[in-house]
Amino acid sequence: MVSLTRLYDVLVIGGGNAALCAAITAREAGASVLLIEWAPKAFRGGNTRHTRNLRAMHSEPTSVLTESYLEDEYWDDLKRVTGNNTNEELARITIRETEGSLPWLEERGVRFQPSLTGTLNLSRTNAFFLGGGKSLVNALFNHAERIGVEVLYDTEATDLIIDDGFVREVKIVNKGFPATVRAKAVVASSGGFQANIEWLKEYWGAPAENFLIRGTPYAKGRVLRSLLDQGVHQIGDPTQCHAIGIDARAPKFDGGIASRLDSVPFSVMLNQNGDRFYDEGEDVWPKRYAIWGRLIAQQPDQIGYSIVDSKAEKLFMPSVFPAYRADSIRELASLLGLDPDKVEKTISEYNAAVQPGVFDSSKLDGCTTTGITPPKTNWAQKIDTAPFLAYPLRPGITFTYLGVKVDDRARVLMANNEPTANLYASGEIMAGNILSKGYLAGFGMSIGTVFGRIAGREAARSVLN
């Protein structure tokens, strides 16, 4: 029975993978653990609900991973996406610990499967959760409750009262009622602040109103704000986040994977003015999809339109919302509310610039344009075969990188780099220590699992000694 008058050994704030890994580890070490999750049970699990895999180091094939993926290659991959701007110590800890994470999760009921269709590029490096992240969340909550972790849903942490580097108590709102929880140690695994549009506007201004949030609406950054306001060491660029281009018709929050659109490399991308604004065929889509959120965010009204003709329709995954369809470019432009003259002009200029070549959707085919800016450097085919199709795209924010600084024991550091006495962090709230920019598929789950386990272990150790 959860009791709010009780002094728990460890309080875990959050309900995603990082929180669950921390809670389970602390409980298995013998600590009494209370986990508070803001979402109601149906929406528990934070952004983990929408994830699908974890990037794991391995020296030989595992139950679901092929070949091997060693520390140095993993590290090189991370260096490349972050532009070498990462904390090598924490990054290498994460990489090394992922090897044991897979069996650790399996022992606690998480099921894996070989990589999904269309993600063969990840079959060696990323272990996919059978049924996706919600299935992992279910397994870990079941395990946590079985071993005696106490769980409160519908419970928001609003403030941590820190006194000289020591968390005295945590203010919560439980099903609408304010209350206080006390614990000897606290693990903050409450995510980023991407669902807090007002906060995003501090950095992005009004355009943030047009951002769609791909994941949980409960990542408002309340705990992060509370910590930063009390002199905890801030880390990460507040404008940095994982942002992709998603279907503009997706719900404001929680659209998840289904709102993804893969049409961009085989299309022409137009902005609200009917102009092209970036090379759609710069590289293969798995390497480029994560730049389009930012690109679209910089366009007027934060919207872009991916235009293809019927030749290209079957080259990408089906979309959840049907394409706008018309028999002429002018008609299509009208459907989209764009200037038909302008769109027709842009498309005919593009068509005139397309060079002959052998189209091949599976590789950089060198089918390019000449004489237009920006060029399209691969998969440039004329848009000339009706019906014409269009998909509207907006920036879709996955998670923000602004966070709290931690050390190798997941202890949260104060601004003077002194560790706090009893505060630990795991997951998106501290991912900025390792991910300053860019993204590596499945790496968020790696950080969450590894630092969740470290935070749980260290929190339990500190209170049980």
Partner 1 sequence: MSSINLVDLAEDNLRDEARRAMEVCNACRYCEGYCAVFPAMEMRREFSDGDLDYLANLCHNCQGCYQSCQYAPPHPFGINVPKAFAELRLQTYADYAWPQPMAKFFDRNGTLVTLLTALCVAGVIIALMLIQDAKVVFASHVGPGAFYKVIPWGVMTAFAGATFLFAILSLVMSFRNFWRASQRPATDIVRPRTLARAMHDIFTLKYLGGGGHGCNDVSDQFSMRRRYYHHFTFYGFMLCFAATSVATIYDHVLGLQAPYAFFSLPVMLGTIGGIGLVIGPVGLIWIKIISDPAPLSKKMIGGDYALLMLLLLISVTGLLLLGLRETGAMGILLAIHLGFVLAFFIAIPYSKMVHGLYRSAALIRYALERQEESEAHAAAQGKPKVKAA
Binding site for partner 1 (CB under 8 A): 42-43, 49-50, 52, 109, 111, 113-114, 116-121, 128, 130-135, 138, 142, 249, 251, 254, 256-260, 262, 284-286, 289, 314-325, 360-363
Structure tokens at 106: 């399996």
CA distance 410 to 87: 13
DSSP 162-215: EETTEEEEEEEEETTEEEEEEEEEEEE----STT-HHHHHHHH-GGGGG-EE-S
Host H or E run for residue 447: helix 443-464
User: Alpha carbon of 264 to those of 315, 379, 394, 408, 427: distances in Å?
Assistant: 11, 10, 12, 40, 31
Q: Which is nearer to partner 1, 4 or 116 (CB)?
A: 116
* DSSP state for residue 317 in the 8-state scheme: P
Amino acid at 435: L
Q: Which is nearer to partner 1, 142 or 355 (CB)?
A: 142
Q: Which is nearer to partner 1, 77 or 237 (CB)?
A: 77
Contacts 24+ apart (CB under 8 A), 136-139: 136/17, 136/48, 136/51, 136/105, 136/110, 137/15, 137/16, 137/17, 137/20, 137/44, 137/45, 137/48, 137/49, 139/108, 139/109, 139/110, 139/111
Is the CA virtual torsion 84, 90, 92, 97 positive or negative?
A: negative
Q: At 222, is the secondary structure helix, strand, or coil?
A: helix
Nearest distance in Å: CB 45, partner 1 = 9
DSSP 7-29: EEEEEEE--SHHHHHHHHHHHHT
CA distance 373 to 353: 10
Contacts 24+ apart (CB under 8 A), 332-335: 332/307, 332/388, 332/389, 332/390, 333/274, 335/390
Nearest to 382 by CA among 310, 275, 323, 332: 310
CB 452, CB 22: distance < 8 Å: yes
CB 224, CB 408: distance < 8 Å: no
CB 95, CB 75: distance < 8 Å: yes
**Helix segments in 300-427, DSSP class H:** 329-336, 340-353
Residues in the chain: 465
